[in-house]
Structure 1
Amino acid sequence: MKSQKLLFGFMPPSLVWGYIAIAIFMAGDGFEAAFLSKYITDMGFSEAQSGFVFTLYGLFVAISAWCSGVVAEVITPQKAMFIGFALWAVMHVFFMFFGIGLHNYPLMVICYAIRGFGYPLFLYSFVILIIQNVSESKVSTAMGWFWAAYSIGFGVLGGYLPGYINPIIGEHNTLWMALGWVIVGGLIALIALRNVKTDRSKANLSFAEKTEELSRAVTILFSNKNIFMSALVRIINTTPIFGFAVVMPWLLVGANVNDHGLGFTKTEWQNIWTVFMFVTIFTNVMWGILGDHIGWLRQARWFGCIGGAVACFAFYYIPVTFGHNYWMAMIPAVLFGFTVAAFVPMTAVFAALEPNHKGAAISIYNLSAGLSNFVGPGIATLMVPLFGIAGAIWSYIGLYIFAAILTLFIEVNQPKIKKV
């Protein structure tokens, strides 16, 4: 890799199509994020039932994410990405036909949950490919671009397009359209990444050795206290994102027993969500580069944790204070876009903490990212019926403060940037 010409000073040209594939695939996966919870309640199911759909889905996402790093190492990232792609596509068809189509709640829950195995395998296996092809001192920068691609897909395209497509073709057809985007992204990855350099040292291990390596995705969490604390920080990083996707439509658009809708249309809320994700395109790249220079954990502590607590506070109290004011509601969306991306260097932290078992370390990173899919909606499901949406928001604020404290105790050696 060192002998080939690198794009932007760090990226092998062969990986570029992988970033593009991630953006397209995650656009399809993100089409539902800003409206599915409301769509399910509009079908006649309760908010608790809707919340449970996302909570169980998040649990399956977490399990898949946990396995993906080591699985990608022992079978190669390309094969793991194919499995994730195929699983997403098949289970989405089942979800649409047997769950949504038949208004069958148990099948809706089961099919959507199993689909949750798909995107982490596709998404996080590509992280292993990045780590195998990028210098350790540039991993934060490379991951900044990775999360920028994720934001373009999941947030901007996945958030912006449904707001304008839903009124034309309806939410049901929008969910079907998502499948097309996922198929395109999956095929690009399969074709473009098939010859990318892959570390096959663990893929060539015996079955017993592979089993032992897979077990590290569990044991490393308890044998390395720095990995454990870093995992908690990473869980907290994106917990509010997945929580907001559930509770904010209830606050801004809908109504429940504790909080009342503020008069925003579905399109307005989806535009607010899209602005947040659009900002992260640039802030992911910015924080990825800055993290390599100003310090991975220092950046996560002050800008990610403390800044994130302020952003969560603003995301709730600005709309509550100013009511149906579209432009005021944009302010916390922009602020949150700046703060949540400051955690980008956490991938590099995990890899540096276990240099001889990076796949296992990234599996824990992926588990943590996946668990935020579970914890975010889970907090909403538990807190909203008891304390209203404000109770859920304050839970997210408290978690960010807790994460800031944890960063003080994590010990990691950050490699210095080599001057060229």
Structure 2
Amino acid sequence: METRAQITLLDRIGIPTTFFWGYLGLLLFMIGDGVETSFLSRLFVDQGFDQSQVGVIFTVYGITAAIGAYLAGALSDLWGSRKVMAAGAIIWLVLHLVMLTIALPTRNYALLAASYGLRGFGYPLFAYGFMVWLIAGSPKERLNTALGWFWCCFTAGYPVIGSLLAAAFLPVLHPVGLLWLSWALVGAGAAIALLLIADRTGRQPLAAPEARDLKSILLGGITIMFTVPAVGRGAIARVINTTSQFGMWVFFPIFFTQQLGLPIEQWATLLSIMMGANMAAVIVVGMISDRWSWRKSTALFGGVFCAVACVVLYYTLLVASSNFLAIAAAAVLYGVAVAGYVALPPMMTAQAPERQGQAMSAYSLGAGASAAVGPLVGTLFIGSLGLQGVVWIYAALHLASAFLCLSIRSPGDGRP
């Protein structure tokens, strides 16, 4: 039973007390999901698969993650968020087990692509299902703070703490042992959240009975991108936002270890530094955006800054790989730059205030799609252009997103 002091402390820092165990469960789940980020592509290469084959696996994963992110909100309306989270956890745990016990030991490429690729449905259904529950059940006057804690737990787990665990325990547990640890962490996080969240809102469908039309719920987030073109442009910008990030997570560990000859544990540490900087920068860039302009800050700090930062990171690794401080500084620069797109959600919802849920579905679809587009760009061009050419494509996409963001005008020049 919670004491009054505990309730006051949680309230003071902006965490709804009824969702406390959900935050803890999300953190553990995302730590488990993020453990693999720094080494999994290298593990697949070590199993005898080439970079293009590995790129295909991660592209399939990205596609299913995009679909899962989009469906989390729609299925919460139809089933309730708790069932959506449970479905995501079951998908993740079962398919991860198939990968560990059958696909990897037998080096069966088709089964590996299917088990890991389809596992992509798991984390967005769980995490974004919880986010929808949080939005529905939190006090409206503290919703932004509650969502801030959501993203803090999400990013802290995936990939910051997950990558730190990998860096610390890879020499002891080795990749497969760490994948078993991730399975245990995901299971523990799911159990804590599903069994202990006190709020009742997400235990039943969120949509009113008369509004539970499957077709309109599932298609609304897509149709709004055409009926309100600014939302569509925002969704494309959201795809680009983390396209380079997801591409780097697939191809940079291979480049880091095979071409530069550096230990994978060092890449895991670098990744944690990068995303730790991102966590801090999200708050600062958000404050700047509110005081200046959503669209201008997103175009400058997101589009232009990201284009420069991903090129700087690649060439710093190439010419100064022995200087860890230099490459860590470049990683911090990139992590800060990725935070530059933080104002995209309010930019998009401001275009259709009466359809904010559908605008957020479009945003979530873009977020999930970036996990597919990043590896896909690398898969298509790394053979002909090399990693250097792929990085320049990422930079060009970021510059294109700057123009997209500048075109999304809201009341008050991006500050409705």
Deviates more, 1:307-316 or 1:69-78: 69-78
Aligned residue number for residue 128 of structure 1 = 132
CA contact (8 A) 2:76 2:205 kept: no
Calculate the TM-score normalised by the size of structure 1.
0.89
Q: What is the rounded CA distance, in whole Å, between the counterparts of 2:330 and 2:144 in structure 1?
A: 26
Counterpart among 96, 113, 118 of residue 114 in structure 1: 118
* Gaps in structure 1 of 5+ consecutive residues: 255-260
Matched, 1:214 2:218: yes
Q: What is the rounded CA distance, in whole Å, between the counterparts of 1:231 and 1:397 in structure 2?
A: 18
Q: What is the rounded CA distance, in whole Å, between the counterparts of 1:238 and 1:193 in structure 2?
A: 31
Shift of 1:136: 7.4
Q: What is the rounded CA distance, in whole Å, between the counterparts of 1:192 and 1:296 in structure 2?
A: 37
* Gaps in structure 2 of 5+ consecutive residues: 1-6
Residues 320, 390 of structure 1: CA spacing in aligned structure 2 closer, same or farther, 3 A cutoff?
same
Q: What is the rounded CA distance, in whole Å, between the counterparts of 1:319 and 1:48 in structure 2?
A: 22
2:353 is paired with a residue whose SS is coil
Aligned residue number for residue 366 of structure 2 = 368
CA contact (8 A) 1:144 1:289 kept: no
Deviates more, 1:159-168 or 1:189-198: 189-198
Calculate the TM-score normalised by the size of structure 2.
0.90
Counterpart among 233, 244, 247 of residue 243 in structure 1: 247
Residue type of the alignment partner of 2:228: N
CA contact (8 A) 1:220 1:360 kept: yes
- How big is the alpha-carbon RMSD for the aligned residues of Structure 1 and Structure 2? 2.7
Q: What is the rounded CA distance, in whole Å, between the counterparts of 1:81 and 1:201 in structure 2?
A: 13
Shift of 1:181: 0.8
Count of residue pairs the alignment pairs up: 409
Shift of 1:45: 1.2
CA contact (8 A) 2:81 2:204 kept: no
* Identity score, percent: 31
Deviates more, 1:150-159 or 1:64-73: 64-73
Aligned residue number for residue 203 of structure 1 = 207
Q: What is the rounded CA distance, in whole Å, between the counterparts of 2:321 and 2:206 in structure 1?
A: 56
Shift of 1:189: 1.6
CA contact (8 A) 1:149 1:281 kept: no
Aligned residue number for residue 181 of structure 2 = 177
Q: What is the rounded CA distance, in whole Å, between the counterparts of 2:205 and 2:27 in structure 1?
A: 29
Aligned residue number for residue 37 of structure 2 = 33
CA contact (8 A) 1:10 1:134 kept: no
Aligned residue number for residue 257 of structure 1 = none
Within a 5 Å distance, the mapping from 1:131-170 to structure 2 comes to 131-133=135-137, 142-170=146-174
Matched, 1:400 2:398: yes
Shift of 1:207: 7.8
Residue type of the alignment partner of 2:86: F
Shift of 1:289: 4.4
Deviates more, 1:355-364 or 1:97-106: 355-364
Within a 5 Å distance, the mapping from 1:277-288 to structure 2 comes to 277-288=275-286
Aligned residue number for residue 308 of structure 1 = 306
Q: What is the rounded CA distance, in whole Å, between the counterparts of 2:302 and 2:12 in structure 1?
A: 25
Q: What is the rounded CA distance, in whole Å, between the counterparts of 1:82 and 1:221 in structure 2?
A: 29
CA contact (8 A) 1:305 1:404 kept: yes
Deviates more, 1:18-27 or 1:138-147: 138-147
CA contact (8 A) 1:58 1:370 kept: yes
Aligned residue number for residue 264 of structure 2 = 266
Q: What is the rounded CA distance, in whole Å, between the counterparts of 1:141 and 1:403 in structure 2?
A: 28
1:410 is paired with a residue whose SS is coil
Residue type of the alignment partner of 2:353: P
CA contact (8 A) 1:142 1:288 kept: no
Q: What is the rounded CA distance, in whole Å, between the counterparts of 1:230 and 1:95 in structure 2?
A: 36
Matched, 1:341 2:345: no
CA contact (8 A) 1:10 1:135 kept: no
Deviations 1:21-55 (A, max 9, x none): 22211111111111111111111111111111111
Q: What is the rounded CA distance, in whole Å, between the counterparts of 2:80 and 2:197 in structure 1?
A: 11
CA contact (8 A) 1:137 1:292 kept: no
Shift of 1:66: 1.9
